[in-house]
Structure 1
Amino acid sequence: MTGPVPRHKTALSRTALSRPLTTALEDSLLDGDCTLFDYGCGRGTDIDHLVRMGISASGWDPAHRPDAPREPAGVVNLGYVLNVIENPDERVTTLRAAWELAEQLLVVSARMTWDAKGFRGRPSGDGFITGLGTFQKFFTQDELRTLVQETLGAPMLVAAPGIIYVFRDPMRAHGLLAERTRRRTLPPEPWICEQLYQEHRTVLAPLVDFLTRRGRLPKGDELRTGQILRHFGSLARAFGIVATTTGEQHWERARERATAELLIFLALARFEGRPRFTHLPRTIQNDVRELTRTYKQGCVRADRLLLASGKRDLVHLAISASAVGKQTPTALYVHSSALFHIPPVLRVLEGCARAFVGVVPGANVVKLHRDESRVSYFSYPEFGRVPHPTLATAVTVDLKSRTVDFRDHRQSDNPPILHRTEEFLSPDDERCAGLKATTEAEKAAGLYEHPERIGTLDGWRGEVARCGERLDADFFRRIAGGPGAV
């Protein structure tokens, strides 16, 4: 990683942990029980942050730590190193060298093409020479994914734009993908009159939680069942009490939901090569046996779902049938918290985009296009805190052309703005009532008489000013730009 280009000048002194390692922490891939090696660590600020967090970390850098040993670790980070290497063959060599040290996981990250917007440099090879004389290569999402896939040929998962996880154990890759498709739900409250349930509620709680998450009874060592068996004799009898108390229809829906989530996982797993049944985590193997009977049948159903997500008429039908989200003639907009409530076909469509671009940081509104194989991820930082949040950033994934577009509105004086934000949420979201009340008051004041004018912040403020005489002072301030408003 040495050469005529002064790569050492690209090293940054970070005041916070870098985005790739923050992402790995959030995905529970980094903790105090693992070791990390930072390959190309620069000034070592990531290492310092991790050590303060109680994580064993070390690193090597050709300029700043040339004498440090390059040693194996559970997790190896190759953070924004490929960008500064001007020789494509050396990028491959570096990628392989970092992978050889990774005992469990390699985290690869690189700067994206949208980072080059406003960048000034002299073209050189497939990148640019900066004003400091350093080299920068900006990757497309597909370019980075292909480089990692073709170089290493190992199980991988796109974590976020410009961040890729590469696993030694395929089960960890499939387990993380499956976890991303699983909805977090709460069990229903039992009827108070059911004395037996109430008396043993603490004993039954682990079983209720397992049934809620997986839609089936546990098998083998998936759950400690000693206390349950001592009190009820069998899991089937314990479940009978739970079902009678809380309602059998709820558990039928839980099973249907778990089956849909399993099929979504199997559909999305095809992107990196669907694993053999024996390579799946044991819990998912049990899901397959219980919910789809055989792996072959499950894969056939998953393939149908994947195929349906690419058919315009079926996507259009699924959008029209969605019980959540804001529908327009061209798309369905849904808050990220409500994604688990949209039809499975749309969840697979969104999952295909996420498999390509990863989890987009800060994105909290997803747009599913009706007539194009495109998914957009919008960031509205103030969503839910103010009636009309403004758009900060937008990432659009075009699945047909395999391209990613990034747009930044944070410096705009007149950014796009949202209205009727309760429509983006699921009906049971606690924010809905307050947001809906605001919308009704705005409608009564005439603020939606000209919808073509209110798509941007300036247009909205113009309509608020026009209708100002109909608004009381506090309401006017709250929706027109006073303290606590957009």
Structure 2
Amino acid sequence: MITPERSFFDYGCGHGDDLAALREDGVACDGFDPKFRPNVDPQPSDIVNIGYVINVIEDVEERRLTLQKAWAIADRVLCVAARVVMGESSGREVEFGDGLVTSIGTFQKYFTQAELREYIEESLGSEAYPAAPGVFYVFRDEELKTQFLSDRVRRSITAPRKRIAEVRFEEHKAILEPLVECVLSLGRLPAEDEFELTSEIVDAFGSLKRAFALIKKVTGEEDWESIHVARVEDLTVYIALAKFANRPPFSRLPKRTQRDIKAFFGSYKNACDSADAILFETGDATAIDAACVNSAVGRLTSNALWVHRNAVPSLSPILRIYEGCARAYVGSLDDMNIVKLHRFSGKISYLSCGSFDYEAHPPLTATVKVALRTLRLDYFEYAAAKDPLLLDLKDCMVPADYPFRAKFERLSKQELKHGVLEGHNDLQSRLQWQSTLSFLGFTHRGHRLIRKRS
């Protein structure tokens, strides 16, 4: 969100350490703090941040007024962060006003994720969009909002490789390769004003369509059809999840999105009907279970489908929307790299596995669980656990282009061949793994299964 092209103001910046780091990155920024930088006048900026400020203000009216002052100077987007509770209270706080006095004597107003969103929206009269637990964006810029929401569901796709040599392609490579990238991004031929080299293409080939016909001849048509399907699915997921944010009318969508809808669905109504039909299915446990069982990616257990976060865009639309419902509530969790799609209970869990790439069977160290039916958030930590749950069949959990997939797959084949995973449909704990390996006479060396020396 923060770039050198966008000005930034931190409303409640403390000593201003973050501002110094941003300036080093070329961001025009400033900040106000009533204690440490009281003489700085709050100034209108593209992005305004008010982080962990409203939760320490005891006076209810002052809290609301402070939030509104920050919103008043946000030209494009306001970022609001506050403390949120997950699960039960620790019991170490004392009630004070509408908040708590902590064990160290400071005031804290704790919100649930839902309460914080409602408080922001009531105070500012605008929709709040979750970016992470306890972090929300409030947009004044509609185009930036649409970009933020669509980028969360848009997958990265690699351009098809050239399969045959073609003299004419090589002659016009300088203008055809940018067209390849444009169609790759859009999933369709661009309109003339969407591609900056249109006039050059028309001069050389007569039309964008003829130029693209040459590209398909060189690369093959099958990959381009897959790219088209992928972009249709991305747009379907975006439109479905936009239901949670008061889906905008067609006229308020960016021009590019309008063109996508017309090209892929014919009309906005058709697009919404298609998206809503899948969104409705996500409430059906039978449909979710069937989608998990039939998924081409993921580690299936008796009650869930486990995937690496990089593989979420490779899931079917119904599962992407199912997971997206949780993210529409909680936002993104950068430290959580494993997603557990519960098959029957209407829950999504986000798990941390820091050693996923380099341990053969890495432990899970933390979980954030989102109950979609009750909107309850729970957090569990296992870093100190003596017998944590370990992941297996990692190659099933990652997308085809994951850097270490070949290494993971080699290990899985060895373990399946020697019966190490036999009878274990669910994940095993560390002690269970040690027992199984000891009984069968194996050990691990990196991502290889080897016989123990007697």
- Counterparts of 2:262 and 2:446 in 1: how far apart (Å)? 58
What is the aligned partner in structure 1 of residue 333 from structure 2?
Answer: 360
- Counterparts of 2:356 and 2:35 in 1: how far apart (Å)? 44
- Counterparts of 1:97 and 1:164 in 2: how far apart (Å)? 16
What is the aligned partner in structure 1 of residue 162 from structure 2?
Answer: 190
CA shift, 1:479, in A, is: 7.4
CA shift, 1:449, in A, is: 4.9
CA shift, 1:279, in A, is: 1.5
- Counterparts of 1:195 and 1:442 in 2: how far apart (Å)? 49
Structure 2 unaligned segments of length 5 or more: list them. 450-454
What is the aligned partner in structure 2 of residue 162 from structure 1?
Answer: 134
What is the aligned partner in structure 2 of residue 86 from structure 1?
Answer: 58
CA shift, 1:450, in A, is: 6.2
Amino acid at match of 2:368: V
Post-superposition Cα deviations, 1:351-404, rounded to whole Å, max 9, x if no partner, equal 111111111112221111111221111111111222111112211111110111
CA shift, 1:335, in A, is: 1.3
Deviates more, 1:451-460 or 1:152-161: 451-460
Amino acid at match of 2:60: P
- Counterparts of 1:448 and 1:387 in 2: how far apart (Å)? 13
- Does the C-alpha gap of structure 1 residues 300 and 476 become closer, same or farther in structure 2, counting only changes over 3 Å? closer
2:345 to 372, 382, 395: 372
CA shift, 1:38, in A, is: 1.2
- Counterparts of 1:477 and 1:179 in 2: how far apart (Å)? 36
- Counterparts of 1:295 and 1:453 in 2: how far apart (Å)? 43
Post-superposition Cα deviations, 1:214-262, rounded to whole Å, max 9, x if no partner, equal 2111114221123222221210101111122222232222222211211
SS of the residue corresponding to residue 67 of structure 1 reads coil
What is the aligned partner in structure 1 of residue 412 from structure 2?
Answer: 439
- Counterparts of 1:102 and 1:226 in 2: how far apart (Å)? 39
Q: Does 1:235 align with 2:208?
A: yes
- Counterparts of 1:306 and 1:454 in 2: how far apart (Å)? 30
Kept in 2, the 8 Å contact 1:155–1:168? The answer is no
CA shift, 1:67, in A, is: 2.5
Aligned residues: 448
- Counterparts of 2:37 and 2:87 in 1: how far apart (Å)? 27
| Structure 1 residues 42-441: aligned runs within 5 Å | 42-114=14-86, 120-224=92-196, 225-441=198-414
What is the aligned partner in structure 2 of residue 15 from structure 1?
Answer: none
Post-superposition Cα deviations, 1:40-62, rounded to whole Å, max 9, x if no partner, equal 12222222222222222222222
Task: Compute the RMSD of aligned alpha carbons.
Answer: 2.3
SS of the residue corresponding to residue 70 of structure 1 reads coil
CA shift, 1:478, in A, is: 6.5
Deviates more, 1:30-39 or 1:151-160: 151-160
- Does the C-alpha gap of structure 1 residues 62 and 119 become closer, same or farther in structure 2, counting only changes over 3 Å? farther
- Does the C-alpha gap of structure 1 residues 316 and 131 become closer, same or farther in structure 2, counting only changes over 3 Å? closer
- Counterparts of 2:293 and 2:170 in 1: how far apart (Å)? 42
- State TM-score, norm by structure 2: 0.92
- Counterparts of 2:402 and 2:170 in 1: how far apart (Å)? 28
Kept in 2, the 8 Å contact 1:454–1:463? The answer is no
- Counterparts of 1:428 and 1:157 in 2: how far apart (Å)? 31
Kept in 2, the 8 Å contact 1:174–1:269? The answer is no
CA shift, 1:420, in A, is: 1.4
- Counterparts of 1:466 and 1:329 in 2: how far apart (Å)? 25
Kept in 1, the 8 Å contact 2:299–2:307? The answer is yes
CA shift, 1:476, in A, is: 4.9
Structure 1 unaligned segments of length 5 or more: list them. 1-28, 481-486
SS of the residue corresponding to residue 303 of structure 1 reads helix
What is the aligned partner in structure 2 of residue 6 from structure 1?
Answer: none
- Does the C-alpha gap of structure 1 residues 116 and 96 become closer, same or farther in structure 2, counting only changes over 3 Å? farther
What is the aligned partner in structure 2 of residue 31 from structure 1?
Answer: 3
Post-superposition Cα deviations, 1:59-117, rounded to whole Å, max 9, x if no partner, equal 22222222221222221110011221223333222211110111111110112214986
Post-superposition Cα deviations, 1:311-360, rounded to whole Å, max 9, x if no partner, equal 22222222222111111231111111111111101111111111111111
SS of the residue corresponding to residue 113 of structure 1 reads coil
CA shift, 1:443, in A, is: 4.1
- Counterparts of 1:113 and 1:206 in 2: how far apart (Å)? 48
Kept in 1, the 8 Å contact 2:288–2:318? The answer is yes
SS of the residue corresponding to residue 359 of structure 2 reads coil
- Does the C-alpha gap of structure 1 residues 430 and 329 become closer, same or farther in structure 2, counting only changes over 3 Å? same
Post-superposition Cα deviations, 1:152-206, rounded to whole Å, max 9, x if no partner, equal 2324321111111111112211121112211111111112333322333332112
SS of the residue corresponding to residue 380 of structure 2 reads strand
Kept in 2, the 8 Å contact 1:156–1:173? The answer is no
- Counterparts of 1:347 and 1:441 in 2: how far apart (Å)? 31
- Does the C-alpha gap of structure 1 residues 89 and 412 become closer, same or farther in structure 2, counting only changes over 3 Å? farther
- Does the C-alpha gap of structure 1 residues 99 and 452 become closer, same or farther in structure 2, counting only changes over 3 Å? same
Amino acid at match of 2:390: I
- Counterparts of 2:177 and 2:383 in 1: how far apart (Å)? 46
